[in-house]
Copies of this chain bind each other. A is one copy, B any other.
Amino acid sequence: MSSPRKIRIGLAGLGNVGAGVVKNLQKNSALLTTRTGAEIGVGKVCVRDLAKSRDVEVPAAQLTTNLQDLLTDPATDIVVELIGGTTIAYDFVADALRAGKPVVTGNKALLAERGIELVALAEKENVPLYFEAAVAGGIPIIKAVKEALVGNEIDSIYGIINGTSNYILTRMNDADLSYDAALKEAMDLGYAEADPTLDINGWDAAHKAIILAWLSYGRWPKPEDIHVEGIENIAPEDIAFADRLGYAIKLVGVVKPGTDHRIECRVNPAFLPKSHILAHVNSVYNALAVRGDVVGETLYYGSGAGQDATSSSVIADIADAAANIAHDAGFEGFLPHGEHGVSVPLSETTSSYYVRLAVDDRPGVIAEITALLATNEIGILSIVQPEPDQPKKGTATLVLTLHDTNYGTIASALEKIEALPCTQKKPVLYRIESI
């Protein structure tokens, strides 16, 4: 065997994931050399503060606070961007591509918001851009969609792609915690950021869904066009009703083809049937159920975040980039369209639904509500008026599941139901995804 080629990465960012990349490249260095035929090492590393103490050791001579040093160093074969954000990171990735350096990034916001520009630039410069770590941490979902399912039209993707919210929902279900108590627990355990806003309002998942929609259909949904709903308002009683009805409530990112080449891309809490394996993805784990027209149903499961899991994907991208360099293969295109797509408006998306109503506890109310649904041509799958755990005098809870129909139709019917004198509170509505 010939002696291994030397490959040096220029690393931008030595935070949680960056430190994981350095640590795990060192840890499995011999293994990686055997498997890839390349000796992959860390070259220049850009940090914000040279003086800060770190978990991993990088010789001082390799540290810099100037991102450009990574690009001007001729020893840099591959650039790894782990600084986050969409401005400095954008300029840096663009500069790297222009400098002919293959880029590996884990920056989901950057791709979701400005991927359309970066992919076009990568194609123009004939330089590859890798981003496995940007979607679902250690799960190789990019490789699965881009390579393993290359011969498939993507019929649908349903992803549990935010570990923090999945942890919260799992604990609300398994331990009967309130939303606030579960969120606090997630923060105490380090499963939620100090500011968990993007995790619980759905936008972290939305960034990932946008990237998957592009990969699947070749066009970028505009962030402002897609429906994004978080888990902040989920009540324990809906978690409990879901369980009784044979469902689990999960925050899902959904990607599907719409009519006229439009793209359905949305993030919302939803009821998933327990007969489907996706409903059994618990705690901080992520998973993506991908249906292809040839392969049928597939699912990919693992840790969606964390230093080690995410660095596993960064290292896989580095290995692919190293092979690409060895073969001088250039931009690795896959539906490399640089266009925005048209999103299906929420009102036109369809699914089944779960509705919970608080209504007057008197004869005739069920008849009134079901008549209104019938007038709007909404079919009822099931209806339950459960005996309440803690009865409230004068109030009856009504739980309905409704046949597949447009979201717009349901939303407008619920407005009418809310306006009925017998209705005491704003109706609660969740999608039942027909996964």
Q: Which residues of A contact B (CB under 8 A)?
A: 24-25, 27-28, 31-32, 34-37, 132, 138-140, 143-144, 147-153, 218, 277, 280-282, 285, 287, 292-303, 306, 308-309, 311-313, 315-316, 319-320, 323, 326-329, 332-335
Name the contact of A32 in the complex, choosing from B32, B34, B144, B151 (C-beta under 8 A): B151
State whether B151 touches A25 (Cβ < 8 A): yes
Question: What DSSP secondary structure best describes chain A's contact surface?
Answer: mixed
For residue A132, which residue of chain B has the nearest CB? B148
State whether B151 touches A316 (Cβ < 8 A): yes
Q: What 9 pairs between A and B have smallest CB-CB spacing?
A: A140-B148, A151-B315, A295-B312, A298-B302, A299-B301, A327-B327, A138-B295, A294-B312, A280-B280
In Å, the complex CA distance between A329 and B297 comes to 32
Q: How far is the CB of A261 from chain B (nearest CB, A)?
A: 13
State whether B150 touches A35 (Cβ < 8 A): yes
State whether B296 touches A299 (Cβ < 8 A): no
State whether A294 touches B27 (Cβ < 8 A): yes
Name the contact of A297 in the complex, choosing from B28, B302, B323 (C-beta under 8 A): B302
State whether A311 touches B294 (Cβ < 8 A): yes
State whether B150 touches A316 (Cβ < 8 A): yes
Name the contact of A24 in the complex, choosing from B277, B282, B294 (C-beta under 8 A): B294
Please indicate the chain B residues that have their CB under 8 angstroms from the CB of A298 in the complex. 138-140, 300-303
Name the contact of A293 in the complex, choosing from B28, B327, B335 (C-beta under 8 A): B28
Name 28 interchain pairs, CB-CB below 8 A, sorted by A. Answer: A27-B294, A28-B153, A28-B293, A31-B151, A35-B334, A138-B294, A138-B296, A140-B143, A143-B144, A147-B319, A148-B313, A149-B312, A151-B316, A277-B280, A277-B281, A280-B280, A287-B299, A292-B312, A294-B308, A294-B309, A294-B311, A296-B302, A296-B306, A296-B308, A298-B303, A323-B329, A323-B332, A327-B327
